[in-house]
Amino acid sequence: MSQEAIITKREDPATAAAVHYVGVDLGGTTITAGAVNVVSGQVLGRQQIPTLGKEGPDAVMARMVDLVHAIIADAGLRQEDVGGIGVGLPGVLDMERGITVFLPNLPGGWRNVPLKATMEAGTGLPTYLLNDVRSFTLGEKTFGAGRDVDTLVCVAIGTGIGGGMVISGKLHMGLDGTAGEVGHQVIDPYGPPCGCGSRGCLETFASGPAITSMALKAISHGRMTKIAEMVSYDLNQVTPEIVCRAAQAGDPVAKDIYERAGFYLGVGIANLITIISPQMVVIGGGVAQAGDLLLEPVRRTIRERVHVTPLEKVQIVPAELGTNAGLIGAAVWASLQAAPEKADSD
């Protein structure tokens, strides 16, 4: 079934009960999953459990298998009602072989883990892998903020900065599914080293850890701020959420930190708009929960730096699907991979 077919048919109640896929969003701290009706976007039986990554890949995958079975039962479905499983993963994948190449946010890196084969053996259902932010992008395109546009860029800001692109209505994958790594565009060639091996990537300036680092630096330099007081001077407790709360309370240092993060994010998004000329930019992820505190400097920077693309035609909006975006997109991806023959006939 093509993505265009899913989008068209989602409004047809006669088909709404027919097609369910389980979407799984594997994160460094939690696993979120649910049974998704890929026609309507409805999520059934949603559950979230701790990843417990220190137990190792085998233990995590066993718990994922149990989670899939539990969700199918809780959703009131039979196994034969489910077309397959889509898994969104935070890292580099070999999608053809169905293995994880490197998941940096999980202990041990999950190098060459046969996730597809393990899930299929444990559930009896065909399983398909996709990068987690590409899953987020596909979810927002199909049922979220981007459902009515053909070309969009999605940016998810959290521990890192990930992204995805939809061009002419289709998720753009690039070589080996690596298209959309917006957080690893170089903003400053002489900037700080990045975990990817480069220097001065957007991720080093505007991710969650970058915001935390700016706060700790401000405190260590003796700047007057409420941030340390809010964590009872236990600096290990400083997080982007704490910095956001301080900024919302009027703390000038915290406001400046989000201003700087928004500026750098705006520079990166301005580059993407100039190159891709999308109808929409969707911004999500945990750090984006700061709302206009982050988005206002983003929008202002874009206005200052984009001059060859008609910005009045580019919408810059928050994501709509929240923490369900990744699992919904993973389920939609599974539906696209499971029925290629039907896609050709639709």
DSSP code at position 95: T
Question: Is pLDDT of 232 > 80?
Answer: yes
Question: Is pLDDT of 16 > 60?
Answer: no
To the nearest 10°, report the CA torsion of 264, 265, 267, 272.
150
Domains (range + CATH), the chain: 3-138+323-345 (3.30.420.40), 149-319 (3.30.420.40)
> Which pLDDT score, from 0 to 100, does residue 224 have?
93
pTM for this prediction:
0.88
> Which pLDDT score, from 0 to 100, does residue 242 have?
97
Question: Is pLDDT of 3 > 80?
Answer: no
Cα gap 303→249, rounded to integer Å: 27
115-130: per-residue pLDDT in tens? 999 999 999 999 999 9
CA atoms within 13 A on the CB side of 250: 0
> Which pLDDT score, from 0 to 100, does residue 128 have?
97
243-289: per-residue pLDDT in tens? 999 999 999 999 999 999 999 999 999 999 999 999 999 999 989 99
90-113: per-residue pLDDT in tens? 989 999 999 999 998 899 999 999
49-96: per-residue pLDDT in tens? 999 999 999 999 999 999 999 999 999 999 999 999 999 999 899 999
| Packing angle, helices 132-143 and 325-338, rounded to 10 | 90
Q: In what order do the strands lie in the sheet with 127-131?
A: 43-50, 30-37, 20-26, 82-89, 127-131
Cα–Cα distances (Å) from 69 to 22, 25, 66, 236, in that order, read 10, 15, 5, 38
